[in-house]
Amino acid sequence: MAARQGLRVISRLSRGIHTSCRRQFLIPMVIEQTGRGERAYDIFSRLLKERIVCVMGPITDEISSLVVAQLLFLQSENGRTPVHMYINSPGGSVTAGLAIYDTMQYIQPPISTWCMGQACSMGSLLLTAGTPGLRHALPHARVMVHQPHGGARGQATDIAIQAEEILKLKRLLNLIYVKHTGQPLDVIEKELERDKFMSPEEAKDFGLIDRVLSHPPSMGQTRQLMTKQIVRAVLN
């Protein structure tokens, strides 16, 4: 009962977040036959039942709230079954992206990340933040990393405060990339100085992802990778 109530809450949140999207395109509805008759889900809620979370479009505070809520719900439902996060994003707000990132690191279920289309800026950070061994890209995806950017207005003191903050964020993001790619800090600082676009193979060589896949991995492959990660976590 609690799980069904949680799904209804997420479904309502999903409908609220995607209201503006409906003005641009129609969100498909999925009809399922149950013992009590037919039940309709919007496509995002139906995918959530399969533990699939979609990060599509710019990363805003609204999208961040939706993704964080879904991740927390999936952990409360099952703390061991993997979550699959599909990313097609040009990036967006650093703080909104960090909220998703921190939640990914906080919850217990392994998170398999997939890049389709593009994972740029904060999108690439979420892509590489998946569970090691479970970070993927489709063959024609594009990945882009760069340093944070922004603007400031006001008195000189206000501008100096904003400049100091963005430098702190730059250092923080660089350290996150170091953690997940295994690259030295000086390499990360150099490569992120300007926009760096990568093919899936280049992203793999850089350490952002683990595999380039044209088809979903078999259940056996997934279980084998999961076992390796559990053993590694225990040993560490």
Active site residues: 121, 146
- One-letter amino acid identity for 229? Q
Instruction: Give the residue among 129, 134, 123 at the shortest CA–CA distance from 63.
Output: 123
- What are 189's two structure tokens? 């600082």
DSSP 173: H
What span, in angstroms and rounded, lies between the C-alpha atoms of 33 and 129?
Answer: 37
| Antiparallel, parallel or unpaired: β 135-137 and 111-120 | parallel
Helix or strand holding residue 29 (H, E) = strand 29-34
